[in-house]
Each structure stands twice: as C-alpha cells, then as structure tokens.
Amino acid sequence: MQDSRTATSGAFGDAEALWRSTRLLACLPGSSELPHWESAGQARATVFFAEEGRGGTLWGMSEARTPEEEGQGLPREVEPIGRCDYVTRVNAAALETDQEEGASGARGAFPHTGAGATAILPPQQDVSLLRFRVQPAPALSRYTAMIHQAVANHAKVVALMHESRRYAEAASPLCQLSSETIARVAQNMRTAENVVNPIMGEFFSRRPEQQVGIDPALLATFENAVRFAAAHHDVFGLARMASELQSRTSAALSNASDRVAAVEAGSVADLNAEIQRLLSAGRVSDARAIAARAASRMPGSDVFAQWQEVLAPPRARLAGKATGRSRRSEQAWLREHAQDYKGQWVALRGDMLIAAGRLLQEVRERARKAAGLTEILFHFVPEDP
Amino acid sequence: MTTDGRPHAGDDQSPLRQNYRGASELVVLVKRWGQRPMPAAVLCAFEELEEEYDALLDTASQFCVMRADVGEVLGLDPDVQPRQQLRTLDGTIEGALHKHTVCLRAIVGENVAVDASWLVSRDWRGPIVLGWMGFLQSIAFGCDPGVTLDDVGTFYFAPLSG
C-alpha cells in the first residue's frame, strides 16, 4: 500500500489535467490548492458529486487505467464508482475490493449505510457552504450581517456554477476529453445546481430574524469540528457535517418559520405581543428584527417605528471635556441621613440638603428656588422592600 | 485615580489595557437600601437638565429604568406605546420604552453620552438604573470599588465606538 500523500502527488500527477477541467466546474475563485484525493493502496477516488438526499451516486475517478490511457497521461474518465447511503470517509481498501466486483459492490465501502445523507458538493463548494453554515456562535446582533454576507456569497456561487458550465462546454477540445465525459460532468453540474439551489434557496429565503433561532452552541460545536476536518483535508468529514448541520438547521428554521408565519398572519396586537414576549425572554435581536419587518409591512403604524427606535442598539459618543465634580460630600451626607428620607428624593449640594420630597418635580422646583439647579445632586432613597 | 484611565494593567500587559476616556466616582450603596445587595452607583446627567443624578449600574437589566416622575421632568410619557414589562426584585413592572440621551459626567478626561433605551414606569419604586442592553453594552467600563463598602471608588469609561 502506498503512502497516500505520495500517491496523490505522484501517480495522480497526470490526473491533474482532468481535475483542472473539472475544477472549473467545482471551485470557487481564489482556491489555489488541488482538492484532496482520498487515497490508499491501489484505489483512489474523489467525490465530484453525490446526487442527493438519501443515497446517490458517487462520481469520481478510479485509479485503474488502460495502457493507452497511461501512455497518454490521462486518467480514466469520471465515472460512477458506487452508490452510497451515507457519505463518510471512504474505506479505500473496501472500495478496491468492491470495484473488482463491480460498481454495485462499492456500497459496502461506506460504513454508515442506511443513514440519511444530503447533497455532497464538489469539495470547494462544500467548504464554501460550510463556511456560512458554521459561523461561530455570534452575538445575535451580528448574525444578521453574517446572513447578508452569506446571501452575497450564494449569489456568487450560483453565478460561478453557470459560468463553469460554459467553461466545461468550451473546454472539451482543449482537454481532449470525450464529449461524453464533458456531457456527463456538465450534467453533474446541472444536477448539482438542482440540489444546491433548493438547499440554498431554503436557507436564504428565511429572513434573518428567522435564522437567529439556530442554536449558537450547536453552530460553535460544528465550527470546531469543521475546522478540524478542514485542517486535515477531510472532505468527506466536511460533507458529513454539512449533512448533519443542514438537517438540524432545517429543523431550527422550520420552528422559526412557524413562529414568524404565525406572526405574519396576525394583527398589530399579535406583533406587539410577540415583540414583548421576545424581549421578556431576553431575545432583543429577535424582537428588533420582528419590529423592523412589521414596520416595513405596516408603514402606517407608528408603533413599530417606535419599537425600531427604542430597540436600536445604544450608541455612545464622547461629549466634551469633563464637567463632573466630586460628590464625596454628598455621599457623606447620604451615609448619615439617607435613612431619614426613605421613599423621597433629596437634593444636595455638598453636605447641605437643599430640598426633599416624594415627587421629583416638586423637589426640583423647591431646589431651583432655593439655590438654583447647578451642581445639585438628586438622589432617590428607596423604601425598604 | 489615574488620569490616563489605566489604573491596573502594567506596561508589560498591553493586551489588558483599556483606553478609557473618562473617569468619575463610583459609590457602593449596599447599606442604603435595606440589606439588599446593591450594585454600584455612578453619577449621570441629562443633557437638558443642569443637575446630576445617582444611577445604579445593573448588568442584569435589559433596559435603563426610571421612575415616572423622572420621565415627566424629561418629557418622557410613561403611558404611551410601545410598552414592555420587566421583572425586577420588587416584582414585574410595566412602562413605556423611550430613547433618551444620558451622559456620564467625567471628573477626569471626557464625558460620554449614550442614546440609551429607557423603561419609564409608574411601577418602579427604585432609583435610576443604567442597564445592559440599553446602555452598558455601548461603552467600555471598569470599576475600582475603593477600599471598603460605602467608600467612593472610581468608574472608568469610554465609548465603544471610539
């Protein structure tokens, strides 16, 4: 059995020609590294695409080549290497055995048979997808901006997929690949679009406020796992986590969708109640998002504009040179006398009581008449509970 | 109190230093409200008023809170929409939410103003409260409580937005 790294860079050096053509289909700009090849022994395969959901066809390259192909430095064409019900790290030894028995036997190479699986995208795309699905647990106020960024990324992905398909069609004569191969790869890409777009579409069709219901702890856990997998070039691990996260995300979005749909069907009073409920639960960002949408849906309703205003994050600014002064004298007076004024406002200047009373307006007025309000400290002495 | 707002971290601990822009006094009020443990109080002011007020710092409070009579002095109606309830040690209170600027007046350095979110409540029987979501989250702050309870310490602050 060869060392996998050596085999990847050696025996598959010629395969880069094919990969370069398929990279056009698969990669986002800026990716300079070749994709990771699962490699061990005599069997190597990389997943270009597994069609969808619960099982699908793995498309990849096998190592076996005809003598003619070896002479031309071309790998075998992209071909289906087996079906899977759940994609995980390929057991290459089993794959090798299975391939000898025919493609149908390759199913045994994937130990997690029977489990659900979702789309496996070309590696670079998969990583791209994971980047937005596994953002670190952010403060909710930052989550909206992250989603907007993901939407922008999504648009870029879709544009690239279309562009890549055109490249694939144009690249056929240059890469000396058979038209059948190109057609198959192009078909893969079209199928990928059909898989990717609904998933992405579902995710992005949710408004930001619906998406903040995703458990941040779960996202953080996945982020750590994804970082580990990415560091080890574990494309299959990434794919598996993408599958799991997609599943959990969908569930979270479904719950959020029910809640927001109920709100959308409701009245101003319902929306008010929902905002208040979210605030009581400490979910200020969610409440802020609901208020924003309600304000846009009901521009004539002042109350939602007011919600937007009062829920806007506070902003601090410098406000000139220091104008405060020490209040130690007032504090000393309070330590000695505050217990005598429970339930009252006291107006102090230094260690002198200027006025006291139960209503601030009255105490202010008395203080203003007695000494003016400049440098007065107002202190409310609560009653004992 | 130091004038540069770096009272604790040494020169060899630059990641720990915070460039506070102002500092004022911090008062611990534990003994002033029965036996209830109280957070520290600082001085605050409202731009349209000459005087200053004691205000409690409360990281557990979503909003800043003021009594209705304070709201009325500032022209903040406690009976309008939007309304919200808030759970407190004295039970649930209800009031109207408003945005209103409050200023931390520095004794050293510079003042800092915050357009804070306030719950103006007729139910509230306590002092002015500066809460987390509506106020504290927008500033960097540090507390030096002083030597003993009921002593006067130092409150350092700076706007997060610089």
Q: Which residue of B has its CA nearest to A383?
A: B33
Q: Is the pTM of this model over 0.90?
A: no
CB contact under 8 A, A381 and B32: yes
Cα distance from A87 to chain B (closest Cα, Å)? 45
Q: Indicate which of B4, B32, B90 best probes the interface with A, i.e. most A CBs within 10 Å of its own CB.
A: B32
Q: Which residue of B has its CA nearest to A367?
A: B51
CB contact under 8 A, A317 and B159: yes
CB contact under 8 A, A317 and B113: yes
Q: How far is CA B40 from CA B54, B145, B147, in A?
A: 10, 8, 14
pLDDT in tens, A125-177: 222 221 112 122 223 333 334 434 444 444 444 454 555 455 445 544 444 44
pLDDT in tens, B56-86: 988 888 899 999 999 999 999 999 989 999 8
How far apart are alpha carbons A347 and A326 in whole angstroms?
A: 16
How far apart are alpha carbons A179 and A192 in whole angstroms?
A: 19
Q: How far is CA A351 from CA A332, A333, A335, A376, in A?
A: 7, 5, 11, 11
Neighboring chain A residues of B126 at a CB cutoff of 8 Å:
380, 382
The backbone torsions φ and ψ at residue A206, rounded to the nearest 5 degrees and listed phi first, read: -70, 135
B127 contact A CB<8A = yes
Nearest to A322 among B106, B114, B152 (CB): B106
**What was the pLDDT predicted at B97?**
94
* Matching residue, tokens 């230093």: B17
B60 contact A CB<8A = no
Q: Which residue of B has its CA nearest to A274?
A: B84
Assign A194 a pLDDT band (cuts: 50, 70, 90): low
> Which tokens sit at B11?
């020169």
Nearest to A373 among B43, B51, B87 (CB): B51
B4 contact A CB<8A = no
Three-state SS annotation for B85-131 = EEEECCEEEEEEEEEEEEEECCCEEEEEEEEEEEEEECCCCCCEEEE
Neighbours of A198 (CB within 10 A): 13
Higher model confidence: residue B149 or residue A107?
Answer: B149
Comparing CA positions, the residue from B87, B131, B62 lying closest to residue A282 is B62
Residue A355 in this model has a pLDDT that exceeds 60: yes
Q: What is the ipTM, given to two decimal places?
A: 0.87
Higher model confidence: residue B111 or residue B9?
Answer: B111
Q: Are A344 and A367 in contact (CB under 8 A)?
A: no
